[in-house]
Chains A and B, each alone.
Chain A
Amino acid sequence: MTTETLIWLIPLPPLLAFFLILLFTRRNHALSHTVGVGAALLSWLLGMLVFVAAIGVEHLGEHPFTSSVGWLPLGSDIFSVGVLIDPLSAVTLFFVAWTVLMIFIFSIGYHNFGQPKGEHDVPGLPPHGATEHGHSVPSVEPMYSRFFAFIALFAFGMFTLVVSDNLLTLFVGWEIMGLCSYLLIGFWYAKPSARAAAIKAFITTRIGDVFMLLGIVALYAATGTLNFREILYNPELLEQLASAPSVIAGLSLAGLIGLLLFIGTVGKSAQWPLHVWLPDAMEGPTPVSAMIHAATMVSAGVYMVLRMFPLLSAGWEHGAPLNTTMTVMAFIGAFTALFAATIALTQKDIKRVLAYSTISQLGYMIAALGIGAYVAAAFHLVTHAFFKALLFLSSGSVIHGMEHGVLHTEGGQHSGEHIDPQDMFNMGGLKNKMPITFWTFLIGGLALSGFPLITAGFWSKDEILADAFGNGHLLVFITLAVAALLTAFYTMRQITLTFLGKPRTKAAEHASENVRTMTVPLMVLSVFAIAAGWVGIPEHFPGLGGLLPSWFHEFVGGTLLEHPEAVTFDTVPLLVSIVVALAGLALGWLAYRNAKQEDPLRKPLGRAYTLLESKYYFDELYDAVFVRPAKRFAEGFSYMFLDRQVIDGALHRVAQAAFLLGSIFRNYFDTPVVNGFGDFTASVTQSFGRLLRKVQTGQVQQYLLFVALLAFGGLFYYLLNVLQ
């Protein structure tokens, strides 16, 4: 079996799992998760085999693994679809396979497999406990199998996107993930907030997707193909696109296409201004958040721009000023990184902090790509996937433990308000109650903050900052550095509030560690969160540089036609990143170590705090500018006018016309003519009958008279005439 065949097979197991679970194993929880995890394992295995094969190839970028089939005959040529594994997709495949597998395994424990069914549990709402021997225990999720089916479909979408060799199948995978994010964010569909969040996610990403589709169409119209190798590895074609004018003055065709495609990423990777869906998407179960917002979906946005980088950067030479698309990307990326980091400072919900931090980190990657730091962006993508998945999963573990505590405390007493197990200000001191979770969360948090040397996040973030500084994009550099400071700050805030200090509520006191299916994935991911950075240590790094070859640069850099140069080593960005990380962590711990129910930063920041807490009122702004007018338009124009008056009115007119016509026919034709004719015939017959029946008097002599008259008359007539 060749590697190409293996690549084709990678997306299939989760798809099969989706169908199998939905059709056959719905009722049996064990069977469902076996099928799901089995599929993820199979894809993982295939992915690893392919990855191992891929890293063994010299200059994979020049001859990647490809295989395609002619699929759609279009006039004279055939549109082919196929698979492609070059260095970029190989590393993406690596982290996707691992994180997906870990998330699948985590979901078994998260959804309380093996626990009894709750008496009051309904499908559509999160489970809230069953009573066993008198006290409350967590109950199993009623829609357990459905969850595995959906995440299997999600995995299929992502794998499809990663292995595809053309924009069309990439878009197919993209959209499948969009659908699944809708299904999974709204997993607990009986909650109105979940439904609203699902719709918000879908529509917001859809806005991005529409522009992306326009970009794809424009690309196809301009080049006649959507195949990556044909477009991106064809310098003449890229030159052509870069110099051809587009409909927008001042923007080349490549620029326009690049911008349109980038807007897709803005939607999918939740960049400003289409960031609003991601925090609300926390309504879904935590493995979903991990899947969507760390491992796969948002990474897909970045993957796509990484893939299309030659097109986006068409016309740009290393060292030259950035072209339009890249400027836009750099701006949006950097802005979003800072913007989201500021909001994350004030969030209470443990998952929301992580959501904003995801937005912020994605901004890093986009900004990196915007300034041309291809390898750095890819590196950060990989490391971020690992530590963000780790963070989400361990926050899921925290929430799970808190829920356990909530059940304990609420099961016994009926007094007290309902504690939100996700509010960090209800936690505290969980370090002792949930040690594994604590250590894994800590590792993830340090990686996120960029803790020097030992965490993966440090290496990738440092690389971005170095690239920004080294190529002279100082504004980007400063913005990202400030964002890094804030990142470290709010991460430490999160860790301090959740794990350190004393438990702030009874529920936190009774929290407990979780089952192995939940903790083992955490441990596995933390290994990656630490070690993944070591494959990318720059060569000129003092001390460590050169010890381990900078494999990542070599490998991933080979994806592009021209291997990007590594930026010259400079101590300034390195120092800045170390200082920023450590200072942020320290400040965070200092500020929050004695925090009680109230956020200590609220009073000092005053109005600014409320602004940040309300997310700069962007949701309200969008609501006022887009949602409410749309609703008014829909209600007033589309519904009341178009639908009721025009369409229904037309129907009513048609009905009235038909009725009128019918009445005319009835009254002027049917009744007088047809009925009349029938009646006339009948009445004529009747009158004839009435007339003629008078002949039958019943009197024989009269009959005889008639007979005699006619007979004799006839006879005489005949005789007289004939015999004459």
Chain B
Amino acid sequence: MIPLSWYLYLSAGLFGLGLYGVLARKNAIAILMGVELMLNAVNINIVAFWRYLTPENMSGQAFAVMVFAVAAAEVAVGLALVISIYRRRKTVDANEINLMKW
């Protein structure tokens, strides 16, 4: 009874929020959280399309699982990096980690 469009609109909104979080937050961990939001939005998208378009083919869910795995891996490494940076610079402010500036 729920049209596909609702799910898609939901995931679009969630993705936008996640994008905002990535681009606008100062704290590195908050950025990572934004990334998680985006990934979740993607997941919702995948599963919604699976359910509505090709429910007999399990590839949708399979790839949602992949996304989980990748998200986990990415968070692990990302947080390790953040911690490593914190140890060095005593800060996790993304603005201050600008060694690559001109």
Contacts and interface: CB of A to CB of B under 8 A. Distances in A.
Query: Direct A–B touching in the complex (beta carbon < 8 Å)?
Result: yes
Interface of A: 693-694, 696-701, 704-705, 708
Contacts of B24: 701
A696 B22 CA distance: 18
A550 to B, nearest CB: 123
A701 B31 contact: yes
A694 B23 contact: no
Interface in B48-65: none
Nearest to B99: A698
Interface of B: 19, 22-25, 31, 94-95, 97-102
B19 A708 contact: yes
B100 A705 contact: no
Contact of A696 (B25, B31, B94, B102): B102
5 contacts: A697-B101, A698-B100, A699-B97, A700-B97, A708-B19
Contacts of B100: 696, 698
Contacts of B97: 698-700
B48 to A, nearest CB: 20
Interface SS of chain A: helix
Contact of B98 (A693, A694, A699): A699
A78 B69 CA distance: 113
A694 to B, nearest CB: 7
Contacts of A708: 19, 23
Contacts of B19: 708
Contacts of B25: 701
Contacts of A698: 97-102
A408 to B, nearest CB: 104
A700 B19 CA distance: 14
Nearest to B102: A693
Nearest to A709: B23
Contact of B22 (A693, A694, A699, A701): A701
B6 to A, nearest CB: 21
B24 to A, nearest CB: 7
Contacts of B101: 696-699
Contacts of B102: 693-694, 696, 698
B67 to A, nearest CB: 20
B98 A697 contact: yes
Nearest to A705: B23
Going nearest first, the 10 A-B pairs with the smallest beta carbon separation are A698-B98, A698-B101, A693-B102, A698-B100, A696-B102, A705-B23, A699-B98, A697-B101, A701-B23, A696-B101
A514 B83 CA distance: 123
A113 to B, nearest CB: 96
A699 B22 CA distance: 12
